[in-house]
Amino acid sequence: MVRGGKGWKVNRHGPDLRTRLWQVQEGRCFYCHELMHKGNSKAGRYWLATSGAPNRPTLEHIIPRSEGGDTSSDNLVLACASCNSHRRSFALLPSEYERARRIIELAKSIH
């Protein structure tokens, strides 16, 4: 990950943000709270879950990109592929937004 103006920019080759979010969220989807499948970590790759698996972890934009949200650590949580695809560009409820902010702050505090 690369440090940007608002947070860490996501580097597709580094699992640091995903690892921190995984730890804080205890491997559970932000929306349905079901345990997600991380895949295997052979060959140095951390997120090799089957591409079509509905419970694979995906990075979810809190503020959708279509609404001006960026792809930085300040705007991402983990959600299963199924929930991520169903949410589309719908806004979060205020309670979800606050929970997302707490997750992000906790993830940033992990060293």
Tokens 């979060």: give the residue.
92
Spatial CB neighbours of 61, under 8 Å, sequence gap ≥ 6:
69, 71, 75, 76
Tokens 């970590």: give the residue.
41
* pLDDT exceeds 80 at position 96: yes
Q: For the chain, what is the radius of gyration of the CA atoms?
A: 13
**Predicted pLDDT at 43:** 41
Q: Which DSSP state fits 110?
A: -
**Predicted pLDDT at 8:** 47
Going by pLDDT thresholds of 50, 70 and 90, the confidence category of residue 103 is very high
* pLDDT exceeds 90 at position 105: yes
The 10s digit of each residue's pLDDT in 42-89 is 444 445 444 556 788 889 999 988 889 988 889 999 999 889 888 877
The 10s digit of each residue's pLDDT in 7-30 is 545 554 345 888 889 999 999 999
